């Protein structure tokens, strides 16, 4: 009986290398799951994510909700008896899912893109435009309008961005990091 | 004492009272802050979620600026701190990544600059004793739940600061200011962080849990050292939860040291802390 296909094994090795985590050491003690605050909103527990990677279940794990609902609080990794940082595995999985074009209709990814676009454009995040663009593109323009207005009247939403002078250097960092 | 200073993007807008109070508190505690010239965003959660290389190269640019100033680097923002510290850890331990980062950003990493959260800088370089000696108006009656969140204490091998499950540094500062740090069990539970915009209803539940726990433990206020925690605790407070205010620890230092601008910072909060402070005769 074949437990794992060659493609599955390659996937496991790739995520192990990308995340730098000793994924093979997980023995399913579930300490990560016991401390995970996102459990009730996720489709897999952290230990299940690791098991899916161990078994090369690429499609399942790259299309799951859990990797995006993880807030990167790192409680799982801090408590793992085998020193596995699940946040780093989730990051590697997200990066892989993006590369394989498997992320669709995902608000978290949309937010990250707006955030990084703002950094690319200004060198720093300009919260008002970043938030407005995110709200517009997620078709959820009205939900936080009251907070936005309150922040604005308190002078906490500056209209003009504080831009970095050497934006060319920032652009270069983005370009070169993307090619890695 | 001189430290290079990285405020971070949110301290220029939605959390500007943290920037204002951090600068004033440090000045009063004889900590000189020199802002990094032309600093750039650290990339935050977004960079490490979508591109690992970018999550190291972007913050590395700021470490390069601190190297030029030849002074340890501090930042009040727990998220920026976490990213900068992780980058420093990676550059220190991962030769391949260090070489790649040096190529991309064009600087030579020396490892001479230590990265400190502002909480760590105040706790270790100033200390609770020295703070207590400067207190003019003890914050009597303020029962504070000290909320550290995730990013100051995890991952522990990187942050190397305080206890990962039961940290004490903020409690000691709060007690030194004449307030009472109350024991509670949610010091390092997550507030939901950047999910606040994408999944507000989840963050509301997480925030509700924290506020209820603080109330049950007998707190009348929460104290943080993180702009993301502070704004989530204010903006995502579920209906029906206690209305207790959420302070930055630097604001409490300002109040206890009777710094003149304290009221200006507090007025910027979305959840007005003045009624509580006035009821305790701690603010005008």
Q: Which tens digits make up the pLDDT trace of B35-54?
A: 999 999 999 999 999 999 99
CA distances from A14 to A7, A53, B51, B157 (A): 10, 10, 15, 24
On chain A, the residues whose CB falls within 8 A of the CB of B40 are 119, 123-124, 164, 170
Reduce the DSSP state of residue A116 to 3 states and report it.
Answer: helix
How far does the CA of residue A7 sit from the closest CA of chain B (Å)? Answer: 23
Q: Among residues A78, A40, A58, B206, which one has the least CA distance to residue A49?
A: A58
Other Cβ atoms less than 10 A from the Cβ of A25: the count is 12
Per-residue pLDDT, averaged over B267-273, amounts to 97
On chain A, the residues whose CB falls within 8 A of the CB of B10 are 125, 127
Do B224 and B251 contact (CB within 8 A), yes or no?
A: no
Chain-chain contact of A164 with B40 (C-beta, under 8 angstroms): yes
Residue B236 has what pLDDT? Answer: 97
Residue B80 has what pLDDT? Answer: 98
- Structure tokens, B264: 């200006």
Residue B252 has what pLDDT? Answer: 98
Residue A1 has what pLDDT? Answer: 62
How far does the CA of residue B15 sit from the closest CA of chain A (Å)? Answer: 7
Closest in A37, A150, A166 to B38, CB measured? A166
For chain B, give the DSSP string: -EEEE---GGGGTTTHHHHHHHHHHHHHTT-EEEEPTT-----HHHHHHH-HHHHHHHHHHHHHHHHHHTS-EEES-HHHHHHHHHHHHHHHH-HHHHHHHHHHHT----S-PPEEEHHHHIIIII-HHHHHHH-SS--TT-EEEEE-TTTTT-SHHHH--S-SSS--HHHHHHHHTT-EE---S-TT----TTHHHH-HHHHHHHHHHHHHHHHHTT-SEEEES-HHHHHHHHHTPPTTS----EEEHHHHHHHHTT-TTHHHHHTT-SS--HHHHHHTT---
Chain-chain contact of B270 with A147 (C-beta, under 8 angstroms): yes
Domain segments of chain B as ranges: 2-118, 128-279
Q: Among residues A87, A82, A91, which one has the least CA distance to residue A31?
A: A82
Q: Distance (Å, rounded) from C-alpha A156 to C-alpha B133?
A: 34
What are residue B144's DSSP bridge partners? B181, B221
Chain-chain contact of A116 with B47 (C-beta, under 8 angstroms): yes
Residue B284 has what pLDDT? Answer: 78
pLDDT by residue for chain A (180 residues), tens digit each?
678 899 999 999 999 999 999 999 999 999 999 999 999 999 999 999 999 999 999 999 999 999 999 999 999 999 999 999 999 999 999 999 999 999 988 999 999 999 999 999 999 999 999 999 999 999 988 889 999 999 999 999 999 999 999 999 999 999 999 876
CATH of B128-279, one of 3.40.50.11810, 3.20.20.20, 2.40.50.100, 3.30.70.80: 3.40.50.11810
Nearest Cα residue in chain A from B47: A116
Chain-chain contact of B200 with A176 (C-beta, under 8 angstroms): no
Nearest Cα residue in chain A from B42: A124
Closest in A94, A124, A157 to B41, CB measured? A124
Q: Which residues contact B76 (CB under 8 A, 6 or more apart)?
A: B7, B8, B11, B18, B19, B22, B117, B118, B225, B227, B248, B250
Residue B282 has what pLDDT? Answer: 96
Nearest Cα residue in chain B from A39: B202
Pairing state of beta strands B73-75 and B32-35? unpaired
- Structure tokens, A163: 């831009």
Mutate to test the interface with B, among A65, A73, A128 (most CBs of B within 10 A): A73
Chain-chain contact of B53 with A180 (C-beta, under 8 angstroms): yes
User: What phi and psi values does residue B3 have, to the nearest 5 degrees?
Assistant: -135, 145
Q: Among residues A32, A73, A72, A71, which one has the least CA distance to residue A49?
A: A32
Averaged pLDDT score across all residues of chain B: 97
Chain-chain contact of A119 with B10 (C-beta, under 8 angstroms): no
Chain-chain contact of B48 with A107 (C-beta, under 8 angstroms): no
On chain B, the residues whose CB falls within 8 A of the CB of A116 are 43, 46-47, 50, 54
Q: Among residues A153, A147, A125, which one has the least CA distance to residue B7?
A: A125
Nearest Cα residue in chain B from A124: B41
Do A76 and A46 contact (CB within 8 A), yes or no?
A: yes
Interchain CB contacts (distance < 8 Å): A and B: 159
Per-residue pLDDT, averaged over B93-111, amounts to 97
- CB-based burial label for B121 (10 Å; 0-12, 13-18, 19+): buried
User: Domain B2-118 - what CATH class?
Assistant: mainly alpha
On chain B, the residues whose CB falls within 8 A of the CB of A41 are 199, 202
On chain B, the residues whose CB falls within 8 A of the CB of A151 are 13-14, 270
Per-residue pLDDT, averaged over B252-264, amounts to 97
């Amino acid at each position: 009986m074949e437990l794992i296909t060659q493609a599955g094994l390659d996937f496991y090795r790739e995520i192990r290398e990308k995340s730098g985590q000793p994924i093979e050491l997980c023995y399913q003690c579930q300490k990560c799951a016991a401390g995970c605050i996102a459990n009730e909103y996720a489709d897999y527990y952290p230990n299940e994510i690791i098991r899916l990677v161990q078994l090369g279940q690429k499609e399942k794990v790259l299309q799951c909700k859990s990797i995006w609902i993880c807030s990167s609080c790192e409680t799982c990794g801090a408590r793992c008896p085998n020193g596995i940082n699940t946040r780093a595995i989730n990051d590697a999985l997200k990066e892989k899912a993006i590369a394989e074009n498997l992320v669709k209709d995902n608000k978290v990814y949309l937010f990250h893109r707006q955030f990084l676009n703002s950094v690319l454009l200004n060198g720093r995040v300009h919260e008002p435009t970043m938030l407005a663009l995110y709200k517009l593109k997620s078709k959820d323009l009205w939900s936080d309008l009251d907070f936005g207005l309150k922040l604005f009247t308190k002078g906490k939403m500056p209209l003009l961005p504080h831009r970095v002078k050497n934006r060319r250097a920032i652009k270069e960092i983005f370009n070169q990091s993307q090619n890695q | 004492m001189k430290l290079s200073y990285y405020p971070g993007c949110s301290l220029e807008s939605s959390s500007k009272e943290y920037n204002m109070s951090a600068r004033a508190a440090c000045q009063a505690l004889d900590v000189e802050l020199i802002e990094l010239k032309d600093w750039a965003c650290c990339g935050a959660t977004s960079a490490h979620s979508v591109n690992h290389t970018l999550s190291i190269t972007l913050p590395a640019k700021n470490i390069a600026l601190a190297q030029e100033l030849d002074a340890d680097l501090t930042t009040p923002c727990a998220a920026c701190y976490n990213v900068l510290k992780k980058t420093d850890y990676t550059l220190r331990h991962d030769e391949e990544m260090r070489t790649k980062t040096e190529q991309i950003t064009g600087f030579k990493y020396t490892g001479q600059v230590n990265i400190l959260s502002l909480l760590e800088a105040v706790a270790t370089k100033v200390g609770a004793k020295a703070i207590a000696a400067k207190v003019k108006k003890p914050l009597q009656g303020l029962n504070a739940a000290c909320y550290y969140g995730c990013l100051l204490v995890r991952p522990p091998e990187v942050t190397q600061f305080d206890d990962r499950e039961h940290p004490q540094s903020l409690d000691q500062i709060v007690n030194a200011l004449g307030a009472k740090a109350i024991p509670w069990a949610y010091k390092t539970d997550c507030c939901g962080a950047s999910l606040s915009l994408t999944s507000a209803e989840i963050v509301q539940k997480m925030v509700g849990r924290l506020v209820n726990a603080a109330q049950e433990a007998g707190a009348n206020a929460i104290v943080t050292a993180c702009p993301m925690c502070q704004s989530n605790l204010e903006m995502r407070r579920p209906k029906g939860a206690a209305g207790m205010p959420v302070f930055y620890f630097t604001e409490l230092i300002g109040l206890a040291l009777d710094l003149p601008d304290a009221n200006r910072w507090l007025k910027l909060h979305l959840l007005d802390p003045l009624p509580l402070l006035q009821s305790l005769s701690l603010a005008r």
